[in-house]
């Protein structure tokens, strides 16, 4: 599933993509998955779930909320076995409801099968429409369930062959972990949009969206699961097989900029290293006459340190973030959005008062949160506020896992940098260039930058909404201009 642009408490902050975790061959498999999901909580906070296998049956527990809220009391007691998979969800396709929580568990001709998915399939609309016309009945409104229907339709005898055939019919971003009675199968799409890594914990194999989840269980990081690789893990060990190759690689550069935890290995690199280099490049392109550099915590911390190092301007903690404030449910009127920002952040008056301040942010979507944050900062009395952004302007929708599907919700799609500066109330505003961003990543030709450039690696749907499979969606025969077709997720 994909990251979402929220309206309430954090306004235009990008949301994380979903997180997946799996382990095979450990006596307390479900406990390890629980810990792994805890480390991946930043990738999804709507729901969490774990499915386990004892070699004979699959058990599953899932619910709405954080990992610590879903797995309380005796929730872990029924998750026996030496293999398990788990999922943290942030909805990018399908509504935020229990029916869409993962892992999804089915029982079909090859026995029980559980699946957890991170990503978005851009051709899910036509696939689901075809299967519904042929009589398929869907229980969820996610694109993930479509793949399970395709698996069940396969004529192959072996489960790995069935999964491979199903995925060959899809287009878009996915990291899947599947669990049967006796195998764990992890697959990454041939473009490689989302990260997936492989580790070892004693004799057990572990797969996770990010390496920070390996660290928490004490597993040793081995490597990334390669784009287009299927890792089939069973009693005989791990066997790797390729899917059909994609025309190019398209690794999501936002994993480096924002999504991944800075201590994680992503696409073979430490996210912290790349973010610091983005800050260095930003300072080189857009210096500022200032006294201190501060970050919008926490995702911009490392880029701000890089900016300070390169510019020679002292880094300070100028904003404190309250980590104990969850999502709020008050109405999204302007004064209430202002309150949400004050609940999340507080300026350190003694640090910023009378100072010329550089505020480093990692990205701007709508700019509403940043505007409120600049107002809050000005209340502490800085002499000047200069905003520097460690990514280029976001001008195009994403259909591969970030919940922003229309240009209307992107301020940079319709406003100049100067207009955005005026809107947020900063003395100056500058973004990192696309060329500068690509200069600091190890394999620039492999990066997907479509949200900055409009250069999409695949055909994309003309109409694309998060709730396209909802029961009250318009008929597929609706006239042009109404909401129909397309796959993926996004909306403000």
Residues forming beta bridges with residue 185, ordered by sequence position: 178, 232
Q: Between the CA of residue 469 and those of 102, 125, 126, 143, 465, what are the distances in Å?
A: 17, 8, 11, 9, 9
- What the block records as the tokens of 157 is 């005898």
- What the block records as the tokens of 284 is 């080189």
CA–centroid distance for 158 within its chain? 31
Q: Residue 447, class by beta-carbon neighbours within 10 Å (0-12 exposed, 13-18 middle, 19+ buried)?
A: buried
What is the rounded CA–CA span in Å between residue 101 and residue 286? 44
Contact, 421 vs 428, CB < 8 A?
yes
What is the rounded CA–CA span in Å between residue 397 and residue 354? 39
What is the rounded CA–CA span in Å between residue 259 and residue 354? 34
Query: CA 267, 270, 276, 281 torsion: positive or negative?
Result: negative
Active-site residue, 18 included: yes
> Largest Cα–Cα distance of the chain, in whole Å?
72
Residue of 18, 197, 448, 451 marked catalytic:
18
Listed as own residue / partner, the contacts of 453-459 with beta carbons closer than 8 Å and 24 or more positions apart are: 453/396, 454/395, 454/396, 456/399, 457/191, 457/246, 457/247, 457/248, 457/250, 458/122, 458/171, 458/172, 458/191, 459/122, 459/171
Q: Which of 141, 51, 149 is nearest to 91 (CA)?
A: 141
* Active-site amino acid positions: 18
């Amino acid at each position: 599933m994909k990251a979402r642009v929220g309206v309430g408490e954090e306004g235009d902050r990008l949301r994380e993509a979903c997180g997946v975790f799996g382990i095979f061959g450990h006596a307390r498999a479900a406990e390890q998955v629980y810990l792994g999901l805890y480390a991946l909580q930043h990738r999804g906070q709507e729901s969490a779930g774990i499915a386990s296998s004892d070699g004979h049956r699959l058990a599953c527990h899932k619910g709405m909320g954080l990992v610590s809220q879903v797995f309380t009391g005796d929730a872990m007691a029924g998750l026996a076995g030496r293999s398990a998979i788990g999922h943290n969800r942030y909805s990018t396709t399908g509504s935020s409801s229990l029916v869409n929580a993962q892992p999804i568990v089915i029982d079909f001709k090859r026995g029980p099968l559980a699946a957890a998915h991170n990503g978005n399939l851009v051709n899910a609309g036509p696939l689901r429409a075809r299967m519904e016309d042929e009589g398929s009945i869907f229980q969820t409104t996610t694109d993930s369930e479509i793949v399970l229907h395709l698996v069940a339709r396969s004529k192959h005898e072996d489960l790995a062959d069935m999964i491979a055939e199903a995925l060959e019919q899809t287009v878009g971003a996915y990291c899947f972990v599947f669990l049967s009675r006796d195998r764990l199968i992890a697959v990454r799409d041939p473009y490689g949009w989302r990260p997936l890594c492989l580790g070892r914990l004693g004799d057990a194999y572990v797969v996770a969206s990010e390496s920070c989840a390996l660290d928490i269980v004490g597993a040793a990081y081995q490597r990334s699961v390669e784009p287009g690789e299927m890792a089939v893990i069973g009693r005989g060990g791990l066997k790797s097989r390729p899917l059909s190759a994609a025309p190019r690689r398209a690794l999501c550069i936002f994993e480096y900029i924002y999504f991944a935890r800075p201590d994680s290995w992503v696409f073979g690199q430490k996210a912290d290293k790349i973010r610091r280099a983005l800050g260095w490049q930003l300072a080189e392109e857009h210096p500022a006459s200032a006294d201190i550099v501060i970050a919008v915590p926490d995702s911009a911390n490392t880029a701000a340190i890089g900016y300070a190092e390169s510019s020679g301007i002292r880094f300070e903690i100028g904003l404190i973030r309250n980590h104990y404030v969850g999502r709020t449910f008050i109405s999204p009127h302007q004064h209430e959005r202002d309150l949400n920002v004050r609940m999340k952040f507080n300026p350190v008056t003694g640090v910023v008062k009378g100072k010329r301040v550089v505020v480093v942010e990692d990205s701007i979507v709508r700019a509403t949160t940043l505007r409120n944050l600049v107002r809050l900062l000005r209340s502490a009395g800085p002499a000047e506020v200069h905003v520097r952004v460690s990514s280029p302007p976001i001008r195009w929708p994403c259909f591969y896992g970030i919940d922003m599907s229309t240009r209307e919700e992107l301020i940079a799609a319709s406003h100049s940098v100067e207009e955005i500066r005026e809107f947020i109330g900063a003395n100056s505003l500058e973004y990192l260039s696309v060329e500068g961003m690509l200069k600091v990543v190890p394999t620039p030709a492999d990066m997907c930058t479509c949200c900055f450039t409009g250069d999409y690696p695949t055909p994309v749907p003309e109409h694309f909404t998060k709730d396209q499979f909802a029961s009250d969606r318009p008929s597929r025969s609706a006239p042009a201009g109404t909401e129909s077709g397309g796959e993926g997720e996004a909306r403000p």
